[in-house]
Structure 1
């Protein structure tokens, strides 16, 4: 005759099985509320006539119509495309070039890798502040060059509305290209040496080996790098605030700084929430295809 465990023993076993869920549940509930709850709240506020304070009268898509009728929003969107495109392409090009050079097992590789990775340890606030000093016409590069004898040297991008956006690109590439290098270097080191030996036996040159064999193998690394750099570009609020403040005027406005300006300076909370929702949709459009491709690859 089988003896059934006592109710106390059953309870202890149930608690033991459910303990991981019990431990994780409070954190999950807090994340659900403070992340997804406030995302839902922002999306709803974007469809209300909120000004200085939230107003919960449903208004439909009126704030989105105001948003897309605002010239400053188009400047922010254009700046985002210019900044993101240049930043991603240049950072990836420098990253893959440095990775290929380091993959040759050069001397002091560890030191060189650390030097290139060090800027990533800094916050964008620090990076923006340092580059603001370097590019300030009265303090940085232009003044230095004139003091050493090049009196006609001019580098006023920081105060020139036509070129100020490219100062953001310079600072962002300086900070993030080392991170792209680390990703590509890890990918290069994961390539099977037998493949490279076979290519060498077949008489393929080093350039041909990398362009025809190695780089196609690194396609997942390229995709991951693009996603990470695009994510950094879209969230580039602190770099803009520290380096240009969105200026001159609003020449270097980004969607993130546009949202901040309309929420806390112009007291148009509804328009700011609409811009935040558009940013979320942009990030979702980037992340979801990436996650889908990763899930398909792991399920094969």
Structure 2
């Protein structure tokens, strides 16, 4: 009898431990829900990235060719850079990318931090100012580009308004000047991104322990010393996150340039994304366009991968 009871008890315990059909469905449901989006992402993001890399090592023109030809597309890309310098060359695109990327990131970070510090002073009307600063980020780059194109056009916007007010000596024709047109893209981009960066820094400021600030003030730290030596160093994670987001937006910028400058006089405002589109879809140089896209991907990866590595190391400690 004892052995039979023990056997029945063991069978009952195993049955109790065995997951029911409902429990199995509950465990599998999240995977089933995420499976379609995971498959779509796998194919249409990473699959096409691999396809683009493959095409960059072919001699594809208007249509893809699948016969590998070493790195001829990359050789042609950089040969055009060093042997000639037409206004719409790859050299102009990467030069503009350096100018736009540095100025865009630096000014967006500086203005965003300044706005966040001002709002963190608990000023009156903060609830109204926050959405005003954030509003530009809600607009598409097309809308931003068109609005700034009207504003900067010498015959419609700022210059014409100044002339009507009597300041006839005022001239601001950067948007039509091939040497300065890229800076108009910087102005429009900074205007749109600064509010978003402000929101990130404001969240970081509000997350700093107030006891640290009070202790510093008791020790006699001036407001400038407080921000320079304590608060801003504590915002390092926010700086890194904002830097990654801004750098990513700068490298893939395309529609802002098209809407604002239409590529600039003679393509003088081209960025690598504009070069890639032009050579892939208009000049039937798919391999060269793919090579430029791979270089853009490598640039983004060079920024994001070290950041992710540092984050994972900190979490592992």
TM-score range, shorter chain: over 0.9
Give the Å deviation of 1:298: 2.2
Give the Å deviation of 1:13: 4.8
Aligned to 1:86: 103
1:252 to 247, 269, 277: 269
Give the Å deviation of 1:14: 3.8
- Listed as ranges, the gaps of 5+ residues in structure 1 are none
1:179 aligns with 2:189: no
1:148 aligns with 2:126: no
Give the Å deviation of 1:11: 5.5
1:271 aligns with 2:281: no
13-22 vs 89-98, greater mean Cα deviation: 13-22
1:125 to 128, 138, 142: 142
Q: What RMSD over aligned residues (CA atoms) do the two structures have, in Å? A: 1.6
1:58 aligns with 2:68: yes
Aligned to 2:259: 242
Aligned to 1:39: 49
Give the Å deviation of 1:15: 3.8
1:103-118 correspondence to structure 2 within 5 Å: 103-118=120-135
Give the Å deviation of 1:297: 2.0
2:29 to 3, 11, 19: 19
| CA distance in 1 between partners of 2:159 and 2:111 (Å) | 25
- Listed as ranges, the gaps of 5+ residues in structure 2 are 1-7, 82-88
Give the Å deviation of 1:104: 0.7
Aligned to 2:206: 189
Aligned to 1:280: 297
1:165-244 correspondence to structure 2 within 5 Å: 165-244=182-261
| CA distance in 2 between partners of 1:173 and 1:35 (Å) | 28
SS in 2 for 1:69: helix
Q: TM-score if structure 1 supplies the norm length?
A: 0.96
Give the Å deviation of 1:68: 1.1
2:94 to 66, 69, 77: 77
| CA distance in 1 between partners of 2:295 and 2:135 (Å) | 33
